[in-house]
Amino acid sequence: MAYSVGMIIGPIVGGGMADLFGISTALYIMCFVLVGYSLSSRLVKHERKATYVNNKME
């Protein structure tokens, strides 16, 4: 469901930003948003390393 909503709303928001600010500025804004999201998700997400005992993962 979220994927479908993103496919519908994404072009509308991107087109609106391109009309307001110009296409290159809209792309730079989205670049910074995606880089910021990527960095924040890497800082927040904590993964545990798998431990193996007798060739079985616990």
Say what the pLDDT of residue 35 is. 94
Looking at the predicted structure, is the pLDDT value of residue 10 above 90? Answer: no
Long-range pairs, 9-16, Cβ under 8 A, ≥24: none
In whole angstroms, what separates CA 8 from the centre of its chain?
16
Mean per-residue pLDDT, 14-25: 90
Distance CA 12, CA 7 (A): 9
pLDDT tens sequence across 39-52: 988 888 766 676 66
Question: Dihedral through CA 17, CA 20, CA 22, CA 27, nearest 10?
Answer: -20
pTM over 0.75: no
Mean per-residue pLDDT, 2-24: 90
Q: What percentage of the chain reaches a pLDDT higher than 70?
A: 78
Burial 43-55 (b: 16+ CB within 10 A, else e): eeeeeeeeeeeee
